[in-house]
Amino acid sequence: MSQPTILVVDDEKHIRMLYREELEADGYTVATSDGEEDILDVISRETPTIVILDIKLGVNRSGLDLLQEIRAEDQQIPVILSTHTILPARPQIHCSRLLRRQIRGPHGAQGQGQNGIEQGRRIGNY
């Protein structure tokens, strides 16, 4: 069975690289996009299991707009909205546990589990 693919959409290259580094270290396949290409084309090509979507994609793009495009075509694919601020030190991303629950479900079965979704809603910092 192939590894789940996580699509990371962020306009900042260093953020995409950070997600790729951390998630690949945890065994995930990672596809990235800067948000300029049509999101539905990217999803069709990459067939992600889950999408991590930056809320603010530069001056003329909004992650919320892309989310509407995604939802118009696919109501099932899980989407995690993210944003970031400049911190004094490099932030450590701790999203692997949430992603595993979202991808495998609360008891390790493939598919999204309600517990994983609820856990994602409660996370304030990572």
CATH number of 16's domain = 3.40.50.2300
Q: Tell me the pLDDT tens digit for each residue of 23-69.
A: 999 999 999 999 999 999 999 999 999 999 999 887 788 899 999 99
What is the pTM (predicted TM-score) of this model? 0.69
Provide the pLDDT confidence category of residue 121 given band limits of 50, 70 and 90: very low
Write down the mean pLDDT value for the chain: 78
The answer on pLDDT for 14 being more than 80 is: yes
- Domain count for the chain, please give it: 1
Q: How many angstroms separate the Cα of 15 from the Cα of each of 2, 43, 93, 103, 113?
A: 25, 19, 11, 22, 27
Q: Specify which of 74-88, 95-109, 112-126 reaches the highest per-range mean pLDDT.
A: 74-88
Which structural domain, as residue segments, surrounds residue 19? 5-122
